[in-house]
């Protein structure tokens, strides 16, 4: 299946020139984000290998997932050439409670990631969130300057962020302009945020700001309405509309949500341990949802709110 992105951002492609498309994540399959509990290491490798063999070539990982070794192993076992892949990882600001952090800053995170992932370049490195603690070094400015430097050195092709608000983007945008004499290629290129019909704005105005400023929005949690709504609230607003659209377009509800995300100009990052679902999540490029139905998902979705990650920080 050709993965033609719906006019997202032409500046993103694998080194071999394949336009960037839907990503497969490795974060939400790690138990409590604790390496010591990585008893499911082999299953993460198998899931990712399955996704790569099925046609995914955009891989999302992060320092705090502790999945670099699994990603490296899956890349090794797959038959894909490095230049045909788009590998993204994320630097987590220090002071997190999840795991023992090996890196001491974004500069040596990049080196560690290159080593752990067994590659000599990364397609993108993102700052995982903007919630740096004021009393712990490095601060946001230092971390962003480190990424600028890593790009200058050719270790990283694109630099970006995740969970950033408009004000955070403006802060680093100014740093980029000063540090690089206004070279636009050092502006934040990606913002990976939670996005789905029940959280259309992770923070005020974020999608519009990114899209107006040439920042690719990536959606994590795009399937949230299908499985993260609490049991006692099973009668949520999309329970009627998704099956209706599923029947109309002859696609699964998950495919409707992924296609909806793409048509919002947002690139989904998804995952599944099931072969059938992995395959289905790639079959979203040969149909489109009528604009009236996209609008309907927007309006029905906006009557209910569900945030799963970074609760209380926005
Ligand atoms: N930057 C950040 O702060 C964050 C980034 N991420 C990244 O995004 C990636 C994807 O995030 P995630 O929230 O898991 O993405 P999704 O919303 O796509 O959810 C994926 C989950 O949906 C389930 N699923 C797949 N298809 C269906 C279906 N048809 N019906 C019901 N359930 C289904 C899968 O379970 P099953 O295996 O049973 O199919 C899987 O666990 C992460 O792995 C991570 O890399 C995630 C969170 C935060
Ligand atoms: O995938 C993820 N799971 C998480 C749980 C807590 C905080 C961040 C994340 C991720 O990025």
Identify the CATH number of the domain in which residue 108 sits.
Answer: 3.20.20.100
Number of residues that this document lists for the chain: 314
2 within domain boundaries: no
Percentage, residues of the chain above pLDDT 90:
86
Q: Considering only 2-11, 224-233, 273-282, which range has the smallest mean pLDDT?
A: 2-11
| Residue 217, burial from CB neighbour count under 10 angstroms (0-12, 13-18, 19+) | buried
Dihedral sign (CA 276, 279, 283, 284): positive
9 within domain boundaries: no
Beta bridge partners of 60: 25, 88
The tens digit of pLDDT for each residue in 3-50 reads 655 667 668 999 999 999 999 999 877 776 666 455 688 889 999 999
Region of 194 on the Ramachandran plot (φ > 0 left; ψ -120 to 50 alpha; else beta):
beta
Is the pLDDT at 53 greater than 90, yes or no? Answer: yes
Q: Beta strand pairing status for 156-162 and 190-194?
A: parallel
65 tagged catalytic: yes
CA–CA dist 229, 142 (Å, integer): 38
Q: What residues are designated binding site? A: 128
77 within domain boundaries: yes
Is the complex ipTM higher than 0.90?
A: yes
Beta bridge partners of 269: 23, 220
Atom of ligand 1 nearest to the CA of 222: 17
Q: Which residues of 58-74 are buried (b: 16+ CB within 10 A; e: fewer)?
A: bbbbbbbbbbbbbbbbb
- Average pLDDT of the chain? 93
42 C-alpha to ligand 2 centroid (Å)? 20
Pocket test for ligand 1, best of 270, 273, 278, 308 (most atoms within 8 A of CB): 270
181 C-alpha to ligand 2 centroid (Å)? 34
Give, as one character, the DSSP assignment of residue 99. Answer: S
pTM above 0.95, yes or no: yes
Distance of CA 306 to the CA centre of its chain: 18
243, containing H or E segment? helix 238-249
* pLDDT at site 96: 81
The tens digit of pLDDT for each residue in 140-158 reads 999 999 999 999 999 999 9
Pocket of ligand 1 (CB under 6 A): 25-28, 60, 128, 162-163, 192, 220-224, 226-227, 252, 254, 269-274, 277, 309
* pLDDT at site 34: 63
The tens digit of pLDDT for each residue in 156-203 reads 999 999 999 999 999 999 999 999 999 999 999 999 999 999 999 999
Query: Average pLDDT for residues 301-307, to the nearest whole number?
Result: 96
Is the pLDDT at 262 greater than 60, yes or no? Answer: yes
Is the pLDDT at 2 greater than 60, yes or no? Answer: no
127, containing H or E segment? strand 122-127
CA–CA dist 54, 50 (Å, integer): 6
- The CA dihedral of 149, 152, 156, 161, to the nearest 10 degrees, is 50
* pLDDT at site 232: 78
CA–CA dist 46, 52 (Å, integer): 10
* pLDDT at site 231: 78
The tens digit of pLDDT for each residue in 87-109 reads 999 999 999 877 889 999 999 99
8 within domain boundaries: no
Pocket of ligand 2 (CB under 6 A): 27-28, 33, 62, 309
* pLDDT at site 68: 95
162 within domain boundaries: yes
Q: Tally the domains of the chain.
A: 1
Is the pLDDT at 54 greater than 60, yes or no? Answer: yes
The parent domain of residue 263 ranges over: 23-301
Tokens 């950033």 -> residue: 164
* pLDDT at site 250: 98
Calculate ∠ Cα 45-255-314, nearest 5°: 75
196 within domain boundaries: yes
Region of 299 on the Ramachandran plot (φ > 0 left; ψ -120 to 50 alpha; else beta):
alpha
Cβ neighbours for 122, distance < 8 A, ≥ 6 positions apart:
87, 88, 89, 110, 113, 114, 155, 156, 157
């Amino acid at each position: 299946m050709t993965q033609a992105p719906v006019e997202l951002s032409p500046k993103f492609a694998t080194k071999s020139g394949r336009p960037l498309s839907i990503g497969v994540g490795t974060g939400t399959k790690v138990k409590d984000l604790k390496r010591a509990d990585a008893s499911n290491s082999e299953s993460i490798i198998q899931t990712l290998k399955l996704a790569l063999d099925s046609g995914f070539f955009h891989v999302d990982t992060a320092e705090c997932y502790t999945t670099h070794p699994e990603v490296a192993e899956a890349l090794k076992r797959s038959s894909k050439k490095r230049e045909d892949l788009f590998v993204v990882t994320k630097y987590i600001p220090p002071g997190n409670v999840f795991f023992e952090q090996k890196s001491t800053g974004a500069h040596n995170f990049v080196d560690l990631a290159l080593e752990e992932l067994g590659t000599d370049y990364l397609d993108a490195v993102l700052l995982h969130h903007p919630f740096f603690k004021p009393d712990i070094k490095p601060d946001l400015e230092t971390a962003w300057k480190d990424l600028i430097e890593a790009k200058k050195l050719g270790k990283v092709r694109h630099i970006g962020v995740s969970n950033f608000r408009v004000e955070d983007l403006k802060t680093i945008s100014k740093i980029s302009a000063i540090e690089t004499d206004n070279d636009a290629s050092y502006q934040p290129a990606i913002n990976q945020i939670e996005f789905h019909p029940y959280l259309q704005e992770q923070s005020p105005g974020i999608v519009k700001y990114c899209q107006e400023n040439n920042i690719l929005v990536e959606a994590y949690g795009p399937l949230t309405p299908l499985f993260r709504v609490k049991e006692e609230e099973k009668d949520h607003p999309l329970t009627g509309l998704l099956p209706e659209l599923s029947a109309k377009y002859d696609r699964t509800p998950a495919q409707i949500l992924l296609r909806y995300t793409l048509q919002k100009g947002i690139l989904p990052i998804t995952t599944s341990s099931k072969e059938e679902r992995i395959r289905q999540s790639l079959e979203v490029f040969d149909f489109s949802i009528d604009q009236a139905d996209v609008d309907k998902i927007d309006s029905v979705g906006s009557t209910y709110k569900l945030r799963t990650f970074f609760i209380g920080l926005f």
